[in-house]
Amino acid sequence: MVERVLARRDRPDSAFFLGRGKVDEVRALAERTHADTVMFDVALSPVQQRNLESELKVAVLDRTSLILAIFAQRAKSREGKLQVELAQLEHLSTRLVRGWTHLERQRGGLGKTGGPGEKQIELDRRQIVHRVKLLRERLRTLHKQRRTQRRARARRDVFNVSLVGYTNAGKSTLFNALTRADAYAADQLFATLDTTSRRCFIEGAGEVVLSDTVGFVRGLPHSLVAAFKSTLEEAVEADLLLHVVDASAATRDAQIEEVDRVLEEIGAGEVPRLLVFNKIDALDREPTVEHDPYGTIRAVFVSAATGVGLEKLRDALAQRLLPMRDLGTPTAESMARVGATA
């Protein structure tokens, strides 16, 4: 980022989002710094984006476009790539701006007297609709496979625990620490797009399937939530959610609220959850446990990077999962069967 401009308005301008004065200020700044892209940390309407590009004479990206671009870079698995492409196309369909340069302009008609054929925008729209339909069919197939895998785990009566949280909260690092896996973890936004599941043993609870899921972010585009529905169902179907929070983040309370909002949106609002405040090494804080008024552990403070507090987290997992076992899911007998076949 070269320069940053802040603007305050009672309501967005319908044509430019910003007022005319701010648009002139941004244009002058872009010219002075030789910027080739202007990024808006809000979601712009198609009309606003088009008008701004016309006025600023540079490419304009809004928050949604940037998130989609990052997701496209991070996607590695076949399912992840399909989900990102679907979200990109659904976003593009609302603002066809002749971005599909590989589509040639066609002309139809009969003989020499034929009139002009389909316009480029009509071709673009038809191509997008066809591709979206194909992507949805492929994702439905993968969704069925994922459901089959979940049913197989359910038949083995294994607890399912999903890691959720704001992006870059340290979910993948914690996942690796608990399962001794080598899932990709990095200090960057959306390092994990593809759900990874591993089995681990929790003393007092037995075998547990732990799943690492995509991180959330403020203003997560609805198209992305919809496209990643099958992936996010790991959270919906979980017996317990580990809500990982960056304890060192200045905006951690807002991040917790945003994650809670997305969980409600995908239908996981009623799933039991345990708060895990990660990165306490950055705060020079000791690992601690917080209880609710009934004595149940509601939060654990750990450092996934150093391993401090992980034993307290395992104890908290056992405490939260044991009542589920007492209710009959899973049973000790079935857990012993899993251990015998593992």
Write down the domain spans for the chain: 20-61, 158-341
Determine the 3-state secondary structure of 199 from DSSP. Answer: strand
At residue 115 the predicted structure's pLDDT band, cuts being 50, 70 and 90, is: very low
Mean pLDDT of the region 290-310: 94
Q: How far apart are CA 199 and CA 181, in angstroms?
A: 10
Work out whether strand 240-246 and strand 159-165 pair parallel, antiparallel, or are unpaired. Answer: parallel
Instruction: Tell me which residue of 25, 24, 19, 21 sits closest to 5, measured CA to CA.
Output: 25
pLDDT 10s digits, 6-55: 888 889 999 999 999 999 999 999 999 999 999 998 888 888 988 999 99
Residue 147: both structure tokens together: 């459901």
Mean pLDDT of the region 235-264: 92
Residue 168 DSSP one-character state: T
Mean pLDDT of the region 270-294: 94
**Residue 148's CB: how many other CB atoms inside 10 A?**
10
Cβ-based neighbours of 250, under 8 Å, separated by 6 or more: none
Mean pLDDT of the region 282-309: 94
Residue 127: both structure tokens together: 């191509």
At residue 230 the predicted structure's pLDDT band, cuts being 50, 70 and 90, is: low
Average pLDDT, the chain: 79
Helices (H), the chain: 20-33, 46-56, 63-74, 78-92, 120-155, 171-179, 222-227, 229-236, 252-265, 310-326, 332-341
The reported pLDDT for the residue numbered 113 is 47
Q: Between 1.20.1530.20, 3.40.50.300, 3.40.190.10, 3.20.20.10, what CATH number should domain 158-341 receive?
A: 3.40.50.300
At residue 318 the predicted structure's pLDDT band, cuts being 50, 70 and 90, is: very high
Q: How far apart are CA 60 and CA 39, in angstroms?
A: 6
Give percent of the chain with pLDDT exceeding 90. Answer: 35
Least trusted range by pLDDT, from 113-117, 188-192, 205-209, 213-217: 113-117
Is residue 127 pLDDT above 60, yes or no?
yes
The reported pLDDT for the residue numbered 328 is 53
pTM of the model: 0.68
| Residue 291 host element (H or E) | strand 289-291
Burial grade of 9 (CB within 10 A; 0-12, 13-18, 19 or more): exposed
**What does the DSSP assignment read for 31-46?**
HHHT-SEEE-SSPPPH
**Residue 228's CB: how many other CB atoms inside 10 A?**
24
Question: Do 278 and 172 form a contact (C-beta atoms < 8 A)?
Answer: no
The reported pLDDT for the residue numbered 214 is 75
At residue 149 the predicted structure's pLDDT band, cuts being 50, 70 and 90, is: low
